[in-house]
Chain A
Amino acid sequence: MIAVKRLAPPEGEKADALASAYRRLVLRRVTVLTVTMLALLASFLLDVATGPARLPLDSVAASVFGLAADPTIDAIVWNIRLPVAAIALLVGACLGLSGVIMQTILNNPLASSYTLGVSAGAGFGAGLVILLGSTVPLPEAYAIPLSAFFFAGIACAGVSAIGHARRASSEVLLLAGIAMLFLFQALLALLQFVASPEALQSIVFWLFGSLQKATWAKIAIIAIVLTLTMPLLMNDLWKLTALKLGDERVAGLGVKVGALRLRAFVATSILTGVAVAFVGTIGFIGLVAPHVARIFLGEDQRALLPGSALFGALALSLASIASKTIQPGAIFPIGIVTALIGVPFFIWLILANRRAFW
């Protein structure tokens, strides 16, 4: 009998090999998402524990999960610390999510949730209410976010209208967005020019970003918007992934590219608008979180979108802790912290990860 040397495994084994390689890929992504969620939980508890009165972590955890015996700790946690820590998570998730969608639809790694003028619109809206002061018939706590969200919507509508007229290519959206960005920045500068010193100080402080005005009502609104926006994006996950292969190829797969881009842009504008309206412009999260997520999870938007939201939430939660510890007894503006910590981290990312997509 002649012994036949088997050079290649039979076809069945190959099929299993591909399926198990794919399963390993999926498992790796699930592991990354799970670990990030655990890190997020730890950061969240630490954020709640951090403040002028340092609370023990175990008491904080007990209070958060409704098991605390100490009413003082309960009062500090539920009335003061938890809203700030929770809004950090939600706003971070919104910014991470909108940043990754913006990078995808513009096919541009420099894009973030602020690139297309949505936050500039929000800044102008907030500045306008601060300037008008008591002439606005609503309490400032609601008038500022409402106006910020309204003008974020105006910026979004402007970009969408121009994009719609020109088949919504990434270049057209980018140019229209930059136009909106400059327009609203100029209008905001005009407000600052005519504002009284007190109003000017309030506007500048708003623009720094702050988590301290968090309330449960605001948290509920952001959470509802985030929850309602998700289904809009869920249907398009594969299409958004395909968008990275170029417009022509995706159109060849039967996707209406312009409509997809505008749909995703509106979703991302809502997320950015609601986040910015309540806490001011917090820079860098929407730029960095998607890049970190992409390094660990790749471009498959089924993993990249939740990953980017989680990394965004984690980044803002850590920044919130830093803002309370940099200067004991005072709270450093969160927008400054995210940029100061974010920039060196981002430069390290660029240098350490020379991936083909950069």
Chain B
Amino acid sequence: MKIDVEKLGVRYGSHTAVDGVNLSAAPGEILGVLGPNGSGKSSLVKAIAGILPHSGKVRFDGAVAPNPSVIGYMPLDHQTRAALTVLETVLLGRLGRLGLRVSKADLAAAEEVLRDIGILSLAMRDLGTLSGGQRQLVFLAQALAGSPRVLLLDEPFSALDIRHQLEVAELLARLTRERKLTTIVVLHDIPMAGRLADRLALLEGGRLMALGNRADVLASSAMRSVFQVEFVTDRAKDDRVEIRDMRLLAKT
């Protein structure tokens, strides 16, 4: 499902969080959103998900208001006090389809995604007994459980250990490719952006500073000026971009 974002703006009172952003993302592609703290990354993704009032247009295959079930959205906050099992939490990802009785198809879909993410053994555990990283995996499973065509993930790796970061990155790349998902991921981890994203959008102060192929964006002068960091990149054989070194630029 192709996403077209036109002149997107988000305001909180007098503060402009996102300012006239234009971008698009295609099926089968992972678009990474980079930027320093407070640059409007989360607001951008929330506006695309349709849960934040905004100006401008977001089109899904040309339509302004898609069926909510085509979007799998995972916010950054993983705190919850709900007395729900992991299975119930994942089932809620299929909210629009759940009847009063949970069907075999719902259970099968939840099971498939729990297995994909490697947390099937946690299925009957209480959400409150899990670690932050485990909860993050559960909410990723929830975002995937509704078989969405668009995935909007806000820092999906923030609480994960390195093994799970790599496993989840691999899973996202595979699902995006196989199911022709349109995946937009907010990332703080620049090396991960170089491995995972096909294209990158760079934000600063709510404005789009760079948009394009990951290698071009990571090597761009915009990256240097936005983060005030020098990135030394290598292009690996499989077209991934490795960050060889990072140095703080001298303050001028």
Residues of A within 8 A of B (CB): 11, 14-15, 18-19, 21-22, 25, 234, 237-239, 241-242, 244-246, 248-249, 251-255, 294, 298-300, 302, 355-358
List 23 contacting pairs A-B, 8 Å CB cutoff, sorted by A.
Answer: A18-B87, A18-B120, A21-B124, A25-B124, A237-B100, A238-B92, A238-B95, A238-B98, A241-B92, A242-B92, A244-B84, A245-B82, A246-B77, A249-B142, A251-B51, A252-B74, A252-B152, A253-B96, A254-B69, A298-B83, A356-B129, A357-B82, A357-B128
Contact assessment for B83 and A355 in the assembled complex, using a CB-CB cutoff below 8 Å: yes
- Residue with the greatest number of chain B CB neighbours at <10 A, chosen from A21, A246, A253, A358: A253
User: Are B84 and A299 neighbours in the complex by a CB distance under 8 Å?
Assistant: yes
B contacts with A, residue count (CB < 8 A): 48
User: Is A298 a contact of B51 with CB atoms below 8 Å?
Assistant: no
| Bound CA span A234–B101, Å | 12
Chain B residues at the A interface, C-beta cutoff of 8 Å: 46, 49-51, 67-69, 71, 73-75, 77, 79-85, 87-89, 92-93, 95-96, 98, 100, 102, 104, 107-108, 110-111, 114-115, 120, 123-124, 126-129, 139, 142-143, 146, 152
Q: Which residue of B lies closest to A242 (CB)?
A: B92
A residues less than 8 Å from B111 (CB atoms)? 14-15, 18
Taking CB as reference atom, which chain B residue is nearest A167? B53
Pick the residue among B68, B71, B82, B143 that contacts A244 (CB under 8 A): B82
**Within 8 Å CB of A357, what residues of B?**
81-83, 128
Give Cα distance in the complex from A15 to B95, angstroms: 21
Contact of B51 among A15, A244, A252 (CB under 8 A): A252
Question: Quick one: which of A22, A251, A298, A302 has the most chain B CB within 10 A?
Answer: A22
Q: Are B139 and A249 in contact (CB under 8 A)?
A: yes
CB-CB < 8 A to B114: which residues of A?
18
A253's closest neighbor in chain B, by CB?
Answer: B95
Q: B146 — nearest CB in chain A belongs to which residue?
A: A253
New A-B contacts (20) at CB < 8 Å, excluding given A238-B92, A253-B92, A358-B81: A15-B108, A18-B120, A19-B104, A21-B123, A22-B102, A22-B124, A237-B100, A245-B82, A248-B77, A249-B142, A252-B49, A252-B74, A252-B143, A254-B68, A254-B69, A254-B96, A298-B83, A298-B85, A302-B100, A357-B83
B74 contacts across to A, CB distance below 8 A = 252
What residues of chain B lie closer than 8 Å to A294, measured between beta carbons? 83
What CA separation (Å) do A239 and B104 show in the bound complex? 20
